[in-house]
Amino acid sequence: MKTVQIKTPTTLGQLQAQQASLIKNATTQLTTLATQINELDDNGFLPTLIASTGPDLRHELQKQLQQSIHCCVVHPYQHTVGEGEGHHRYLSAPNALKALTQKYQDQRDQQQPQHSQAAIVVLITAPHITSFYQTLTAFNALMPIPELPQITRRVKALMSLETTKWKIPEAPQMPYWRPLKLAQWQTAKGHLTQLGAAQAAIEAIADNASPKGMLTALLAKKQQHLTQVNQDWQHTTQALQQVVGQYLTGNISQHLSQLSAPGHDQVLTVGLLLTGTTEALAF
């Protein structure tokens, strides 16, 4: 299996190794929690340390998420960036890196970020449109920057444009009856969801299950979810083999102009430039 080709500082580590470490730590915590649950009595009292750790972690995460960074995206379908005519446009990896460098050095842009401490450059490259769509789809699952889903939808449409543009939609020539299920209507489905939630709450109150049994069942569910996360990560890692990244600090403008990118054989490229503080980019 090929790993993600992304160069980051030692403080961040390799992306795949970092994710594997997070999954391993989560598994260890679940195992420890399972031991603690087994030691509970039916009153269900947790140690004070566990109860006090959650708010602290939540506070740290909220503090991290309150930070903001700046992002700039270049892609083949932008004016003066991509090459080609009509719907089919191209942007090689070196030209994408050149466009990002020019955009960062453009002093006339009033939206240009000021006093950036660090930056991350990411190039999503592909030699043809099919692999380009697959890589974009996988990257969107990790970092859904607003421009990327739009590009992905456009690439998907271009993949079948030559065959679908000749298809004429077919519609019935005469009025006809069709069965309609009320459960398909959004309003009815909303009422059913609310009734189901109320019924579940009533059944939970009426159930004589002990807190220990409920926690054990919840723990098993979390362990199953963690296993699925690990499988999804392995699948995403394979799909992201065409993503190349670089972490920059210091003189970002100078480093951008000196970076080396994949060759011009990667004719389809989306370039991302993320700038901000070191703490914000670490997340």
pLDDT tens string 110-156: 788 877 788 889 899 889 898 899 889 988 888 778 888 999 999 99
The model's confidence at residue 11, banded by pLDDT at 50, 70 and 90, is very low
* Strand ranges of the sheet holding 118-126, from the earlier edge strand across to the other edge: 5-7, 243-249, 118-126, 268-276, 70-74
At residue 5, the pLDDT reads 43
Summarize pLDDT for 244-269 with one digit per residue, the tens. 778 888 888 888 888 878 888 888 88
At residue 18, the pLDDT reads 59
The model's confidence at residue 4, banded by pLDDT at 50, 70 and 90, is very low
The predicted model gives 157-179 an average pLDDT of: 75
- pLDDT above 70 for 207: no
Answer whether 272's CB lies under 8 Å from 39's CB.
no
- Considering only residues 74 and 210, tell me which one the structure prediction assigns the higher pLDDT: 74
The predicted model gives 191-218 an average pLDDT of: 73
Domain residue spans of the chain = 70-161+239-282
- Tokens 């009856």, residue located: 177
Nearest-5° angle of CA 65, CA 152, CA 134? Answer: 95
At residue 151, the pLDDT reads 92
Rank 2-16, 47-61, 89-103 by mean pLDDT and report only the highest.
89-103
> Which of 12-16, 36-40, 196-200 bottoms out in mean pLDDT, i.e. has the lowest?
12-16
At residue 6, the pLDDT reads 44
At residue 153, the pLDDT reads 92
Dist CA 222 CA 145 (whole Å): 28
DSSP state at residue 84: S
The predicted model gives 6-33 an average pLDDT of: 59
pTM: 0.58
- pLDDT above 70 for 176: no
The predicted model gives 44-55 an average pLDDT of: 52
Mean pLDDT of the chain: 76
